[in-house]
Amino acid sequence: MKAKSLLLAGAVTIASAVGAMAQGTVFSVNAVGFVNTIVPAGKQLIISNPLSAADNTVDAVLANVPDQTQLFKWNPTNQVFEANTYFTGFGWLTKTMSVVPGEAFYLRNAAPTNLTITFVGNVPQGSLTNSLVAGFNLVSSQVPQAGGLSGDLGMPTSNLDQVFTFDGTSFTTYTYFEGFGWLKQGESTPTDPQIPVGTGCFVRKSAAVAWTRNFSVNN
């Protein structure tokens, strides 16, 4: 489904799954909407904030999550994780940490029940750039669109690039071969890694590159 049809149909509902564990539902009118993402009890998933709010810090975007919910955000410059924890009555330990469209992060639900996170904000539009570094990047689509990472979402590719998707238990590896396409580990037919709305993946690049999108809900 094209992004504009997803975003402009006010009554459209898109349900996605990551290993039958993450589900996202998108409701949007014009360029404003919300996305529901579910993190199962006691599990961790790679998720993303697909909408731009006035305040994209964790204390605003991920308010009132269960006590001791943990977030792990990747620092692409230093190639390390930065950890954050939520405490009831206090909020997130690092309150200024941001979660913006184009990034992705691990969220660990410490509660015994499923956690539904509602992202609210504007659909990013215009000329959008996600700067990927040489090495590992933890990324997502810059707009709330599901689809193939390269074919639908427009991520640039180079020979031997790798993508790692996570279903809550294990990783699936894809490797890009110039002139052939993405090859999923253990398979022989090319397949573009599928990234549902509100999720993300690791991308390993051999050289820095700009992942650009020119996007409008009206076109």
Helix (H) or strand (E) holding 4: helix 3-8
- CB half-sphere exposure, 38, CA atoms < 13 A: 16
Tell me how far CA of residue 20 lies from CA of 39, 55, 106, in angstroms: 11, 31, 17
pLDDT at 33: 84
Beta bridge partners of 87: 91
Residue the block writes with tokens 């955000």: 73
Beta-sheet pairing, 80-87 with 70-75: antiparallel
In degrees and rounded to multiples of 5, residue 21 shows phi and psi of: -125, -30
Contact 65, 133 (CB under 8 A): no
Percent pLDDT > 70 in the chain is: 86
Contact 173, 162 (CB under 8 A): yes
Residue 169 has which token pair? 């238990």
pLDDT at 65: 96
Residue the block writes with tokens 């913006």: 100
pLDDT at 2: 44
Q: Where are the domains of the chain?
A: 126-215
Q: What is the pLDDT of residues 119-155, one digit of tens each?
A: 999 999 999 999 999 999 999 999 999 999 999 999 9
